[in-house]
A and B are shown apart, each in its own frame.
Chain A
Amino acid sequence: MLCISRFYSYTPPQRMKVELLHIHKHFGSVHANDDVSLVAEAGTIHGLLGENGAGKSTLVKMLSGFISRDAGEVKLDGKSINVHAPVDAIREGVGMLHQDPMDFPPLSVLENFVAGRQNAGLALNTRAAARELKDLASQFNFSLDPNAPVQELTVGERQQLEMLRLLALGTRVLILDEPTTGISAMQKTQLFAALRQLARQGKTVIFVSHKLEDVEALCDEVTVLRRGKLIGTQKIPCPASTLVAMMFGRELAAPVKPHTATGDVALDLRDAVISTNTYDLQIGALTVQRGEVIGLAGLEGSGQQEFLLACAGVDKLSHGRICIGSKDMTHKSYGDFLDAGVCYVPADRMRDGLIAGFTIREHVALRASHHRIFIDLSDSLKVAEQAIDTFNIRGKPETKVERLSGGNQQRTQLALMPDPLSVIFMEHPTRGLDIESTIWVWKQLIARCQAGCAILFASSDLDEIMQYSDRVIVFSGGRVSQPIRATDLNVDTLGQMIGGKF
């Protein structure tokens, strides 16, 4: 009975306005939030929109107490507050639903539901808690078996559980970080209905997303961030192109790439299906010519990475046929792809591309012949010195790669690419680089194209896509567009395609 009385003895939820004012946050040299403000009125659903890395999660994590801010003010109901830990935020009535639900998979639904209660006493009143869970769940038409272990639940169900748990703790401001990733269409409908109901009850919902369609369908108002800066706030509904322009910047750069395509086939995909966690991407037919550059545009996480990984042979196609040059590579191992002259350059350099603790010279030696037994020290030193010289890396052969700056790590990745290559698959070739380095990197890449190599690259920088691609493929909501000539694109068409209209 204790739990029930606790829940029902709440005063009707107060309406709580959320104000984040002039927030700053640095991570090392990165200014993740630069003078960002967000005001969410009580009883509304407020969207927070931006590309991955725009600083959305950083901002809301400062509201929910997961990280601390460097400067700025947080106000709830006009009262300035300081939260140092999630428990403080929950006491203030702020709860956050994370992208990956923060639950205890081996425990049951009910046990998870009661986790995190302060002053709950030693004994667990199972029956009362079960009743409370059932009542709350029925309010939102969720059906959760209290005794099921959480590890057997889908992400959507775990989300529902986490939401109920936070509400039972007295949450009046609910933050959801990318909640529609990895849940089914029906669960999404349920989630949106529940959020609307919460808003009607007077609660404040902050909905963090990089998906235009979700924000358009759900939110009353949206705040857009780009590269850590506040771009603006917009009432919904509004045209998708307005939001795309806010997310990516208004003016697109003009193409600068010389013509290098030769007409010979470098990559050929037929009836390909590539499965990601959320989607099955279907590509009917795609032929890339030698010397050609294909830009992959779209909101991050729309399947570009999985597409590149499957084309590079790191992962397998679920279905279909892939040829590199004239060779049929379907069902071949990644080693065979490497032998065929494929190179994959990942976005997360220190996780997927380089080996922390290894020096530049050791990376060079690692790339050298696998048929020799002993490492040729003087040779690897010489090659490393040459690479450092040619690629202008600010480091020495014996510098460990984690000590290099991001730009120099990228230069190292480029320097390590074998020569010659037939196709390069790259993610964000110039992320984190200054303009000068960006231009320099693309000069190197275009030189590769002139030698007959094809490049497919994903980028969240539309300028980069426009400037350096011959053709552009747009990824949106699980669909892949036909390749379109960069010269035929403008901000409106591209914006609409990214928004899913093609």
Chain B
Amino acid sequence: MTATTRTDMRAPASPLVWRISAIVISILLLGLIILVSGESPLAVIDAMIGGAFGTPDKIGRVVNTLTVLLLCSAGLVFTFNAGLYNLGIEGQITFGAIAATLALRLFGAVLPGPIAIALCIIFGAIGGMLWGLLAGVLKVHGRISEIFAGLGLNFVAQALAIYLIFGPWKRAGVASTSGTEPFNDTLWLGAFGTTEATPVGVALALIATIATIVIVRRTHYGLRLRAVGRNPRASFVLGIPASRQMLSAFALCGILAGVGGALQVSGNFHRLIPTISGSLGYLGLLVVMLVNFDPLWVLPVAFFFSALNVGSLQLPLVLEKVDSSLSGVIQGMLVLAALIGRGFAEINVKQ
């Protein structure tokens, strides 16, 4: 038994070393990029922190971004753990947002505000679920890679949103890319003070994150999902039907993304706009890949990414030589570094 103990203790150490060094190297590289573009990294950090947390309004924006990002990331934890690359999450947010807009348009004038808002979120969830299941059915029954099915459905959802904004749901008078007519403020999700952050959104996002952690790590459903994701063939032999697990993961991810879409509509933009997803679905993919599909780390990483996103917006206002796209560079570099670190760790283990 001593031999076993030694292997166990040694084994996890080396992957961790690889991963940490990969991230350290990526941070150094980022510093280099900033230096080369003629700015001081410290000034950039300072500007970013100021941009994200300088005023309550900015904090509110970070929280709002985080809310949707957490919902998407939580959903993606399910699909990633089932071994699925659900790139269709953007479409699931968009279709959820469309369904949510429909709910507000249908019930906004006839039902009390809070009930209409509740229906809006439920509609969002159903819309996202349907869009997720569509990708899932194409994958499971049509043998179409979920990556391509998802990307295709993203375009369809996007086109549908644009059609609605310029067609049936256009503003009185003139259609515009700025979206549909804003909803009456009785249909706005209540916010903290004067900020944009909504308590309901925060609560939903936190509940979703915690539930995801519990489900994935502690339930038989989560265990089966992870088993299917790691080895569908062996899971089948052990008696776990892979197709049902995969479809349920798509549905769950769609529900959470759809709720995110509903929050974008009723809490953030107060209307449907063409870019309603804000690319937060793609950002969620990065978050979940960075945490290696482990839901426990989703919250801190999603928070960091939200702060980066919001903080970088005013970079060009404060500093001359860097652009707001720096946040994308940072996020991309970190994820690449994490993936490379994981790859090296695996190569190392095999040898």
Contact = CB atoms under 8 A, between A and B. Distances in A.
A372 B220 contact: yes
A355 interface: yes
B8 interface: yes
Contact of A375 (B1, B4, B11, B219): B219
Interface string A364-401: 01111110111101000000000000000011101100
Interface stretch (B36-44, B120-128, B236-244): B236-244
Contact of A373 (B8, B219, B241): B219
Given A352-B234, A396-B4, A396-B8, A335 B220 contact: no
B234 A355 contact: yes
Contacts of B1: 394
B227 interface: yes
A31 B272 CA distance: 66
Given A355-B234, A356-B230, A338 B239 contact: yes
A307 interface: no
Q: Which of B3, B221, B231 has the most CB of A within 10 A?
A: B231
A358 B241 contact: no
B233 interface: yes
**Which 7 residue pairs spanning A and B have beta carbons closest together?**
A355-B231, A338-B239, A355-B230, A357-B230, A355-B227, A355-B234, A374-B219
B7 A362 contact: no
A366 B231 contact: no
Contacts of A79: none
A254 to B, nearest CB: 34
A399 B4 contact: yes
A354 B218 contact: no
15 contacts: A314-B237, A334-B239, A351-B233, A354-B231, A355-B231, A355-B234, A366-B223, A373-B221, A375-B219, A375-B220, A394-B1, A394-B3, A395-B4, A396-B5, A416-B238
A250 interface: no
B220 A367 contact: no
A403 interface: yes
Contact of B227 (A334, A352, A358): A358
Contacts of A377: 218
A366 B221 contact: no
B324 interface: no
A122 to B, nearest CB: 34
B4 to A, nearest CB: 6
A335 B237 contact: no
Interface residues of B, number: 26
Contacts of A354: 231, 234
Interface string B53-81: 00000000000000000000000000000
Interface in A306-355: 314, 334-335, 338, 344, 346, 351-355
Nearest to A357: B230
Contact of B8 (A351, A352, A399): A399
Contacts of B3: 394
A362 B223 contact: yes
B241 A335 contact: yes
B218 A353 contact: no
A372 B220 CA distance: 7
B224 interface: yes
Contacts of B331: none
Nearest to A376: B220
Contacts of A314: 236-237
Nearest to B226: A358
B195 interface: no
Nearest to B7: A403
B235 interface: yes
Contacts of A366: 223-224, 227, 238, 240
B347 to A, nearest CB: 15
Nearest to A371: B220
Contacts of A353: 234, 237-238
Nearest to B11: A403
A352 B7 contact: no
Contacts of A374: 218-220
A338 B237 CA distance: 9
A367 B238 contact: yes
Given A373-B220, A375-B220, 17 more contacts: A334-B239, A351-B234, A352-B233, A352-B234, A354-B234, A356-B231, A357-B230, A362-B223, A365-B220, A366-B223, A366-B238, A366-B240, A370-B220, A374-B218, A375-B218, A398-B8, A403-B11
